[in-house]
Amino acid sequence: MFKLKKHNTNVFTELSAGFTTFLTMMYIVPVNGFILADAGLPMDAVITATALITILATFLSGVWSNTPIAMSVGMGLNAYFSYGLVLGMKIPWETALGIVFVSGLLFVILSFTNFRVWIMTSIPMTLRRAISAGIGTFIAFIGLKNMGMVVDNPATLVGLGDFTNPNVMLGVIGLILAFVFYAYKLKGAFIFSIGITSAIAWVFGIGTAPSELFSYPASITPIFMQLDIMSALTLSLLPVIVTFLITDMFDTLGTLTGVGARADLFQENNKEDKSLQKTLEADAVATVGGSLLGVSTTTSFIESASGVEEGGRTGLTAVFTALFFVLTLFMLPLFKSIPSNAIYPVLVVVGVLMFTELGKINFEKVDLATSAAAFFIVVLMPLTFSITNGIAVGFVAYTIIKLAKNQRKDLNLGILLLTFISLLVFILQG
C-alpha cells in the first residue's frame, strides 16, 4: 500500500520517523488548548478535539496521499481565531468556527481545480513571504503580551512588563529554554521547554503539579457541531473568510515545498505524481472536519520535516505519527496543570521562525511598491491585532503605488481581485 521498497525505506524507519514527528509537534495539543480557551471555548473539550483532529487528519494524509506529512491545528490562524476574531472583533466563537468551515469548504472545492496554481502565481513571492513574516510577528506579539513581557501603557500604547513578577520571570525562563533547545536541534525542543518550565513552576509554587498524569478523554460535546455557518455568511466577514483561505493555502504549500525538497516529493515535472494534489485535498477536508469538531483551521505541519530527516518517505510515517497521538487523548490532567507562561514562550519562538521568511526578500532589488506592501503587512498585523488588516493594507498599497508609477503590467487579475477584497475590509468596517 505504501510502496516502501519503491521509496527505499522500511517499516522500522517509518516507525522511527513517525515517533520523531510526534515528539516535535506534540506541543500543539496543550498550546492550542490554551489559545482557544482564551476565546471562551472549554479547554478540556479543545484538548480532546485537537488530539482527535490531529489523529484523523494525519492518518488521512498518510493513507490518501502516501506522504510523510502530519497535520494539526495551524499556529497563527488559531491565534487569529481567538485574539483577532473573537476577542478583537467580538465575533462569537460559534460564528468564528462557521468562518473556518466556509473557508475549508472553499479550499476543498478549489483543491480539485487549478485555482491554487493561479492564486500562487498571481501573488509575488515577496508578498507571500511578507505574509508569513507578518503572521510570525502577530503570534510572537500575542505570546509576549500573554507572558506579561509586553503590557499596555496609557502614555506610549505599549510598554515593558514587570520582571519582578514571578510569572513573568517564569515566561522568560521558558523562552530561553525554548530558544536554546531549538538552537541545538533537540527533538521535541518545545515539549522539553514546556516540561522543564512547568517543573520549575511546580517546585517554586507558581503552579500546581498534577495529582495524576492520565485520565479518560474529556467530552467534546460543548464544542462539537456548535459552529454557526449562517452568521458567517455575511458580506462583512467575506475578507476574513478569504484571509483564512489564502493563509491556509500559503501555510500548506510553503510547508509542502520545504518538506518535499528534503524528501524528494511533489516533483512538478512528474505528471504521474499526484501526491501534492492529494495532500492539499486531505488538508482541506481536515479543516472542514476540524470546524465540526470545534477547532480552528487545520494545516500541514512543518515539523513533518523532522520525520523526513529521520528517513520517513511514505504515508506510513504519518500513520505512525497519528497512532502516537492517540496517547495525548489520555494526558488531560498533565496538560491542564501546565502554567500558561510555560506555553506562551512557544508562540514567540514559532513567531520568530516564521519571521525569518522576511530575510529571503532582497530589499535592495525590489521596488517601492513591494517594500511598502511588505512593511505594512508585517507591521500592521500585530499593531492592529488582525491578519486581515495587515494583508489588506499591504495589497492596497502595492496596487496604488504600481498604478501611480504606471506599472500596470505587474498587476494581474489575481492581485486586482485581492485588492478589491482588501478594500472591502475598510468599506465594510466604515
pLDDT along the chain (430 residues), means of 10: 83 90 91 94 96 96 91 89 92 95 90 71 82 87 92 90 94 96 88 93 90 90 95 89 83 71 60 73 92 93 82 91 95 91 90 88 91 94 86 92 91 86 75
The secondary structure of residue 177, as a DSSP letter, is H
pLDDT, position 418: 82
Cα dihedral: 221, 225, 226, 230 (round 10): -170
Q: pTM higher than 0.75, yes or no? A: yes
Q: What share of the chain is helix, strand, coil (3-state, %, to 5)?
A: 70, 5, 30
Residue type, 36: L
pLDDT of residue 357: 85
Count of residues making up the chain: 430
Pick from 362, 373, 314: nearest CA to 123: 373
Cα distance between residue 49 and residue 118, in whole Å:
34
Q: Would you say 317 and 68 are in contact if contact means Cβ atoms under 8 Å apart? A: yes
- CA distances 55 to 60, 100, 154, 286, 355, Å, are 8, 19, 45, 10, 28
Residue 270: its pLDDT value, please? 52
Question: Nearest CA to 168 among 140, 195, 136, 143?
Answer: 143
Q: Are 171 and 147 in contact (CB under 8 A)?
A: yes
**62 and 244 Cβ atoms separated by less than 8 Å:** no
Q: Are 89 and 148 in contact (CB under 8 A)?
A: no
**Grid cell digits, residue 229:** 455557518
Which CA distances in Å does 322 have to 56, 203, 242? 7, 33, 30
Report how far residue 236's alpha carbon sits from residue 229's, in angstroms, rounded to the nearest whole number: 14
